[in-house]
Amino acid sequence: MAVAVMQGRKTVTRRIINPQPEGGGIIRHLAGEFFARQLSEDNRWCDIRSAYRPGERVAMLATWAVSKGFDHLKPREITLEEATHPFADFWHSGMGEPKSEYLGKSRPGRFLPDHLRGLMPILEIVSVHAERLQHIRDADAIREGLQEENFTGWGDEPHLPHVPEPTVYRGFSDAEWEESPIEAFRVLWNSINAKPEPVLGEDGKPAHYVSYPFDGVAEIRINRGKPCYVCPNPWVFRYEFRRITA
């Protein structure tokens, strides 16, 4: 999705509200310092603060890499001077070009230390809204960075009329093309968020797992010997943003 941000295709993202309201719960959108309010099981409202606020500027945390000569260093040990040196060849996945063979290991964006975040594209939060995941509409699904194509005329016989084809969408290169933007977004969302993710206990080991598919049935499964709580159609914060270009 980093390339979609850089190309201007992705201007909206959704992040799961954690923790989710117990028993399905209710979340009401608010404006101001707190952007949502949750109704708990004991019928009390409690405020939920979003991670980002309108007007805030944040670095796009894409996968990144520097020269192999830095592979022995932890991210926080790489200085800004080293990362910006011509031989470091700082790269991130939003550049839209393959990582050079001369670069070292790929590092997740979440491990990019604060002192290097200025090397990433900067995004400004435009708006924040709390909603159910399935409240998404076609136009917003497209703004999540979907690839869009129309194959009218592809493979048609010369000198014959073109057979009109519908515009189709997909969230990533290996996905099937879908006529529905929402269906394409569902496939994209599930490829990331339907996978069981561990929730660590006090001992640092997985106490249980949780997954947040686009749709389905709320249930408890067993994953690696631990309970896995499946929470379909979760509450999310919808963030609209724009890339700062100057």
Same domain, 36 and 147: yes
Identify the band that residue 115 occupies on the pLDDT scale cut at 50, 70 and 90. very high
Q: Which of 71, 93, 118 is the last residue of a domain?
A: 118
DSSP string, 116-169: GGGGSPEEEEEEEEEEEGGG--HHHHHHBT-EEEE-TTTTPPTTSPPPP--EEE
Q: Which of 118, 137, 154 is the last residue of a domain?
A: 118
Helix/strand/coil for 11: coil
Q: How many CA atoms lie within 13 A of 12 on its CB side?
A: 19
Look up the domain containing 68 and give its range: 62-118
pLDDT tens digits, 81-98: 999 888 888 999 999 889
Same domain, 55 and 83: no
Please state the length of the chain: 246
Same domain, 92 and 205: no
Q: Indicate if the pLDDT at residue 202 is higher than 90.
A: yes
Average pLDDT value for the chain = 90
Q: Which of 169, 108, 126 is nearest to 144 (CA)?
A: 169
Q: Which of 99, 118, 137 is the last residue of a domain?
A: 118
What is the number of structural domains in the chain? Answer: 2
pLDDT tens digits, 59-77: 999 999 999 999 999 999 9
pLDDT for res 154: 75
pLDDT tens digits, 15-37: 999 888 765 566 777 666 667 77
Q: Are 221 and 230 in contact (CB under 8 A)?
A: yes
Q: Which of 210, 169, 209 is nearest to 16 (CA)?
A: 210
Same domain, 79 and 102: yes
Same domain, 234 and 192: yes
pLDDT tens digits, 120-140: 999 999 999 888 999 999 999
Structure pTM? Answer: 0.87
